[in-house]
Amino acid sequence: MNARAVVVGSGPNGLTAACVLARAGMDVTVAEAQPTVGGAARSADVLGPGTTVDLGAACHPFGAASPAFAALGLQEKGLEWLTPEVAAAHPLEGQAPGLLLQGLDNTTEGLRHATHNDAAAWRALHNGPLNHLPQILSGALGPLLQWPDHPAAMAGFGLRAPWPASMLARLFSTEQAKGLLAGSAAHASFPMSAPLTGAFAVLFNLLGMSNGWPVAKGGTQAIVEALVADLTAHGGRIETGRLVTDTRELGEPEVLMLDLTPRQVLCMRGLKLPARYRKSLSRWSYGTAVHKVDLLLDGPVPWYDSRITQAGTVHVGGTLKEINQAARLAARGTMPERPFVIAAQPTAVDPSRAPEGRHILWAYAQIPHGYRGPESKPNLAGDRLVQQIERFAPGLRERILHRVDHSPRYLEAMNPNLVGGSIGGGALSGLQQVFRPAPQLNPYRTGAPGVYLCSSSTPPGGGVHGMGGYNAATTALRDLT
């Protein structure tokens, strides 16, 4: 195949799309505006020499299970997954934490110490889908409006998916089980009472109990480096520092792949998009934002329960009721006093990321879209994040050697796809969960011949898994035949 393809944007989706097209024999060029590739999936020595800090996502439950990454053989290109002993922990005031462990039996055994009923309910909720997880991922990581390859497996998952996480939580009596459900559901950045949040809860829990929630050895940048290695091995090229504002400067490639969110697409000159598609993009909502804080510590986080130090991810928010309240406030544009925080402890399993004896804590708080804070306290969100963690890790402040804050404004400047500090490519509210980014059976086609969208604004959404790019590229190849 002598056809030419141009990919605008070098995030994991753009790079994955480029790899698929290059493997099919296309002449592929990736245009990246930044001086380095990777989008938000980059790592840098943010906390000083000898440190490796992930600028975006740090733990990768979907990355390790990604059919796209498996098809590209990224582990043969140097990518190594490191799996923490505890996939996720959920600290609680005055109580033992909830612990999501590899293996359904291990997780239920922990819940059994609290109550046998919760252990049985947890098994009933997760056991069936866990036995069919590869088939469920095949459907869940693609367009939701297409007939799944494994309808029976998806039907079993579908019985759990539509419900709000707050309703599924009624199956349990302990805060440990409710907390594990709420923490996983909160990755949707939406209140627990919203429909489909139950799907996030169950799916994240399934991944934790199967492959764990691993980190990439050496930082998330290792995923990008493996993708770049595959692309160049198949003849693809990357041009950094190249900002594309007009598609006419690209010539007339047979395939134009856009790793951009709707706002950037609408600003791109030269695109002849159908009016109906443009109208859908103009209505796109980006949802809540995050304020990110990176901490260099002189030792492990002093959690009240030492088992939490073994967790790759810690969901910091207290009870389900507290998490739901924080999410509601953020969605309404009010900065929560106690925001929900997702914290990652990469040095718990990858000590190479910090100098000997030092630890890195990566964390972000879910806050209102575009929040800037008062002029007198521009890092108010970061202060509340630290306070929230210290609530369960007394003495944390005394261990901080260096702290770096990343506001929503900073995050968008680092990567324009993070509009207003939103990290998922668009809110999962209302119909946007199903119609990403427009009401059509194939969400990767734009309606313009040869032009495709492959960003996190397409199914399956945010995360470092490459599936948006993989699905868009396979669509493009089918259209060329």
Burial zone of 41 (CB within 10 Å; 0-12 exposed, 13-18 middle, 19+ buried): buried
Residue 156: what pLDDT? 63
Residue segments in the chain with a per-residue pLDDT below the cut of 50? none
Residue 72: what pLDDT? 98
CA angle 158, 340, 56 (to 5 degrees): 80
Residue 152: what pLDDT? 64
User: Above pLDDT 90, what percent of the chain?
Assistant: 82
287-336 per-position pLDDT tens digit: 899 999 999 999 999 999 999 999 999 999 999 999 999 999 999 999 99
Under 8 Å between Cβ of 260 and 53: no
Residue 114: what pLDDT? 60
Question: Which residue intervals of 56-214 are DSSP H helices?
Answer: 61-64, 67-72, 104-112, 116-130, 133-140, 151-158, 165-168, 175-185, 197-210
Place of tokens 């007394």: 394
- DSSP code, position 36: S
User: What whole-number distance in Å separates Cα of residue 391 and Cα of residue 397?
Assistant: 11
Under 8 Å between Cβ of 9 and 260: yes
Q: What is the model's pTM?
A: 0.95
> Considering only CA atoms, which of 276, 275, 255 is closest in space to residue 479?
255
> Considering only CA atoms, which of 286, 227, 326, 201 is closest in space to residue 7?
227
Residue 189: what pLDDT? 87
Residue 149: what pLDDT? 64
At 49, the amino acid letter reads: P
Residue 194: what pLDDT? 86
User: If you average pLDDT over every residue of the chain, what do you get?
Assistant: 93
Residue 193: what pLDDT? 87
